[in-house]
């Protein structure tokens, strides 16, 4: 049903991505691909996988940007996946009801059994989070690992999205952003987590934590400024009593 759920649980499951520690390793992207290749939306088809123009369905892609110049310049690695928006037009534009937002946790999904592959939702998503599978003729996307996060066949600790559990730099956090007391909500508050393209008013659930400003070390005492010659410098050490 493409109308957004009127009464929702208040639960807003999503990701918080820390651009301050993301090293751009693509682990989350590939692990996502791997998990989901056999998961809820399987397969994540690859066309011409060994050919000249290989292309495939990915739910998560890692960009690299440079921002600013000179000493203020930075390189920032930037993972991009579905933000599970609160008011996502990708859902409301869908003519078939295949696209939907779950009332119970806010996860945005596609029902592949009814998707006609009109691609309109991918036009409606500002973030490029929808992935058309040419082979199946259906739209696919990040499921927030719905087949992991509630999976009773998995140990409790493993009930997080694949991208989160694999990130070597601990740059991805998962939780309920609807709960102001959740760890992710606290992180967003403490670190100034922000929305992508807030001007479009899709109200993304996923948040990004900005690169931190560089820690200023306590003004270290300047080292001896005086120019001293080698001989007198050495003299300082002659009388030092040290014990082995």
Partner 1 sequence: MAFDFLAGPPEAVDTSPHISDEVKTTTCYMCACRCGIKVHLKDGQIRYIEGNRAHPVNKGVLCAKGSAGIMQHFSPARLSKPLKRVGPRGSGEFQEIEWPEAFAIATQWLSEIRARDPRRLAFFTGRDQSQALTGFWASQFGTPNFAAHGGFCSVNMAAGGIYTIGGSFWEFGEPDWEHARYLLMFGVAEDHDSNPIKTGLSKLKARGAKFVSVNPVRTGYSAVADEWLAIRPGTDGLLVLALVHELLKADRVDLDYLVRYTNAPWLVIAAPGAADDGLFARDGSGEPLCWDKATGRLASALVANVQPALAGEFQLADGRKAVPAFQLMAARYLDPAYAPDRVAEATGVAADAIRRIAAELAHVAFETPVVLDVAWVDWAGRRHDQMIGRPVSVHAMRGISAHSNGFHTCRALHLLQMLLGAIDVPGSFRYKPPFPRPIPPAPKPAGHAHQVEAGKPMAGPPLGFVTGPEDLLVEADGTPRRIDKAFSWEAPIAAHGLMHMVIANAHAGDPYPIDTLFMYMANMGWNSAMNVAGTLAMLTDRDPATGEYKIPHIIYSDAFFSETVPYADLVLPDTTYLERWDCISLLDRPISNADGPGDAIRQPVVAPDRDVRPFQDVLIELGHRLGLPAFSNADGTAKFPAGYADYLVGHERTPGVGSLAGWRGKDGTLYGKGAANPDQLQRYVANGCFWKHELAPEQRYFKHANRSYLDWAVGMGFIPDAKPIVLQLYSEVMQKFRLAADGHGPVQPPDDRRQHIRTYFDPLPFWYAPFEESRIDQARYPLHAITQRPMAMYHSWGSQNAWLRQIHGHNRLYVNAKLGAKLGLADDDWAEVTSHHGRIKVQVKLMEGVNADTVWTWNAVAKRSGAWNLDPEAAEARKGFLLNHLISELLPADAAGDRLLNADPVTGQAAWYDLRVRLEKVAPGDATSEPALPTLALVPGVAERPAMLRYGASFRRRREAGR
Partner 2 sequence: MHPAASVIIFTTLTGAGYGLLVWLGLFAAFGLLPAEFGFGLLALALALGLVSAGLLASTAHLGHPERAWRALSQWRTSWLSREGVMALAAYVPAGLFAIGWVFLGRNDGIWAMFGLVASVASAATVYCTGMIYASLKPVQRWCNAWVVPGYLLLALMTGALLLNILLHLFALQGGSAIGVAILAVAAGWAAKRGYWRFIDTTSAASTPASATGLGRIGAVRLLDAPHTEENYLLKEMGFQLARKHAAKLRRIAELAGFAMPFALSLGVLWANSLGAGGAGLALAVLAALSAALGVAVERWLFFGEAKHTVMLYYGAGRA
66 binding partner 2? (CB under 8 A): yes
Q: What residues pair up with 26 in beta bridges, in sequence order?
A: none
* Closest by Cα among 196, 209, 29, 32 to 126: 196
Give the torsion through C-alpha atoms of 68, 206, 168, 42, to 10 deg. -120
* Distance from chain centroid for Cα 44: 19
Q: Which one of the spans 118-126, 158-166, 170-178, 180-188 is the region binding partner 2 (CB under 8 A)?
A: 118-126
230 binding partner 1? (CB under 8 A): yes
Question: Does the bond joining 43 to the residue before it have cis omega, within 30 degrees of 0?
Answer: yes
Which one of residues 84, 140, 173, 207 is an interface residue with ligand SF4 (CB under 6 A)?
A: 84
212 binding ligand SF4? (CB under 6 A): no
- HSE-up (13 A, CA, CB side) for residue 129: 27
* Collapsed DSSP state (helix, strand, coil) of residue 215: coil
Which one of residues 4, 16, 109, 115 is an interface residue with ligand SF4 (CB under 6 A)?
A: 115
Chain residues 199-218 in contact with partner 1, contact rule CB under 8 A? 211-212, 214-215, 217-218
State both tokens at 243: 């014990």
23 binding partner 2? (CB under 8 A): no
**What residue 38 binds from partner 1, ligand SF4, partner 2, none (CB within 5 to 8 A, per partner kind)?**
partner 1
Q: What residues make contact with partner 2 under the rule CB under 8 A?
A: 1-3, 19, 26, 29, 53-58, 61-69, 72-76, 78, 80, 89, 91-98, 114-120, 122-128, 131-132, 134, 136-139, 194-202, 208, 210-211
């Amino acid at each position: 049903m493409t109308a957004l759920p009127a009464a929702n649980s208040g639960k807003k499951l999503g990701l918080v991505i820390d651009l301050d520690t993301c090293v751009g390793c693509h682990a989350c992207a590939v692990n996502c691909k791997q998990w989901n290749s056999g998961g809820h939306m399987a397969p994540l088809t690859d066309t011409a996988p060994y050919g000249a123009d290989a292309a495939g369905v990915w739910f998560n892609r890692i960009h690299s940007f440079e921002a600013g110049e000179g000493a203020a310049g930075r390189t920032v690695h930037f993972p991009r996946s579905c933000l599970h928006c609160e008011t996502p037009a990708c859902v409301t534009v869908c003519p078939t009801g295949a696209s939907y937002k779950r009332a119970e946790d806010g996860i945005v999904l596609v029902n592949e059994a009814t998707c006609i592959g009109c691609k309109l939702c991918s036009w409606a998503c500002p973030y490029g989070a929808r992935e058309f599978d040419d082979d199946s003729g259906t739209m696919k996307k990040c499921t927030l690992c719905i087949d992991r996060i509630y999976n009773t066949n998995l140990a409790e600790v493993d009930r997080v999205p694949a991208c989160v559990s694999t990130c070597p730099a601990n740059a991805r956090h998962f939780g309920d952003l609807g709960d102001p007391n959740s760890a992710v909500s606290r992180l967003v508050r403490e670190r100034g987590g922000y929305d992508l393209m807030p001007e479009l008013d899709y109200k993304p659930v996923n948040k990004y934590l900005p690169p931190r400003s560089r820690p200023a070390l306590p003004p270290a005492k300047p080292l001896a400024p005086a120019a001293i010659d080698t001989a007198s410098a050495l003299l300082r050490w002659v009388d030092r009593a040290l014990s082995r």
